[in-house]
Amino acid sequence: MPIEVSAHGTISYTGEDGTRYFQAKVVRSALKLWVAGIKVNRHTRIKDLLLLVQQFTGAKFSRNAVGMAIIAMDDWIAKNVPEIKDERNVQG
């Protein structure tokens, strides 16, 4: 199972699919922070983030098209949701 939710609610992203999915969500979050004017860290440049987006989506984006890159990542994440195993005991 690429994503597992334990009985205590801990989420684990395992395997290649789970790791790739988590990485995509982190890249999307970093792009959103960049748009808001917040750097993820002092070494990461927008060019680095856009290269990661290109690896995921196959589409090239310029520095002026960060909003389009976020939309592309949203689409990629929605299409590539891995299987989720939820071990929580959900009772009503």
Q: Where are the domains of the chain?
A: 3-83
Query: pLDDT at position 8, please?
Result: 83
**83 and 12 in contact (C-beta within 8 Å)?**
no
- Is the pLDDT at 92 greater than 80, yes or no? no
Read off the pLDDT band of 85 (50, 70, 90).
confident
- Is the pLDDT at 37 greater than 60, yes or no? yes
Q: At a CB cut-off of 8 Å and minimum separation 6, what does 33 contact?
A: 39, 40
Query: pLDDT at position 11, please?
Result: 84
Give the global pTM. Answer: 0.84
- Is the pLDDT at 67 greater than 90, yes or no? yes
**21 and 81 in contact (C-beta within 8 Å)?**
yes
Tokens of 15: 């395997």
Task: Measure the CA–CA gap between 22 and 70, rounded to whole angstroms.
Answer: 15
**55 and 72 in contact (C-beta within 8 Å)?**
no
